Amino acid sequence: MEGTGITVSTTTSSTAAAEAARAPSLKLQRTLALILLLCQGGITVTGSLVRVTGSGLGCNTWPLCHEGSLVPLRGAAPLVHQAIEFGNRLLTFVVAAAAIAVTVAVYRAGRRQLIKNLAVASIAGVVLQAILGGISVLVDLHWWAVAVHFLPSMALVAIAAVLYMRIAEPDDAPVIERYSPQARAMVVAAAVALCFVLVTGTMVTGSGPHSGDAGVGMEGRLDMDTRLLAYVHAACMYLYLIGTLAATYLLRRSNAPKDAFNTALVLVAMIVVQWAVGVTQFYLGVPRWTVPIHIAMSSVVVAFSAFVWAHGRRRMP
């Protein structure tokens, strides 16, 4: 009997070791999470290209491109507009594939529930975004529909950023408070200010010159003074910058870990770059080429805000 027990135990251990060997490595999990983060940010940039090129109704229905056709049709709309809008739709499948790949990897690796939840939330967010994008097309790009389509993208960037950070942590290690409660509170306060920055930014865009399609014109645009909205948006940006600077100071004062402090410094630099792009837009009358840059920097700023927040509490070996 003892011999049989040893045999069973050895077989079980061998099976467990074989399963562990087949599980996706930590490096692969983090690589997939990084790809997902880049995809989530990248699709916001392609979405802005749709807007500034006036290609929003290049495919004028959803989920089909045109009535009775899944793909662009010659003569249904300018070919370049169809190609840009249809291409942006196809990128949704790329983002979905990245989200599914991360989810499969963390489930196969047996990661803790938080990581699994973040991965599943990414998939759900892609589905939601596809639906919201379809609604924005069906209502002829009304400003509120476009705003509702953009804002969840920023939330998905934040989720992907936190997922990237959490995957690197050992699942069985204790959670460590890595900087002071005061600094953490200021980081959260700055994040709240960032939410106002993003919301007011969609309002500026909604009242501005880029409707998303030449055929729409100013129909369905936000009927408010763009200049006034830009001032409100700028005020929110300054509050966000001040909050981030205060958080960075508190991190320094409380001797926070170097990686957390350096991430905060990078965030401050990115906010300054975003501010410069916004000022350029304001004084040049929002030229088309500035919009994708501004949107790209929004994703960068959101991601680094999430990084700084995630540094506050981590599972450390």
Q: What is the mean pLDDT of residues 269-293?
A: 91
Structure tokens at 102: 């991360």
pLDDT of residue 33: 97
pLDDT of residue 64: 87
Among 221-225, 229-233, 246-250, the minimum mean pLDDT is found in 221-225
Cβ atoms within 10 A of the Cβ of 242, count? 13
- pLDDT tens sequence across 2-29: 445 555 555 555 554 555 557 899 999 9
pLDDT of residue 16: 47
pLDDT of residue 290: 87
**Residues 6 or more apart from 200 whose CB is under 8 A from it?**
229, 232, 233, 236
Bridge partners of 315, per DSSP, are 175
40 φ, ψ (degrees, to nearest 5): -65, -40
pLDDT of residue 221: 67
pLDDT of residue 115: 97
Name the pTM for this structure. 0.89
pLDDT of residue 211: 56
pLDDT tier, 142 (very low <50, low <70, confident <90, very high otherwise): confident
- pLDDT tens sequence across 53-110: 877 788 888 888 888 888 888 877 888 888 888 899 999 999 999 999 999 999 999 9
Pick 45 or 14 by higher pLDDT: 45
pLDDT of residue 286: 80
Give me the residue label for tokens 């909205």: 229
Question: What is the DSSP track for 48-78?
Answer: HHHHHTTBTTSS-SSSSSBTTBSS--TTTS-
315 φ, ψ (degrees, to nearest 5): -85, 115
Among 2-16, 36-50, 163-177, 187-201, the minimum mean pLDDT is found in 2-16
Express as a percent the part of the chain with pLDDT over 90: 60
Helices 181-207 & 290-311 angle (0-180, nearest 10): 160
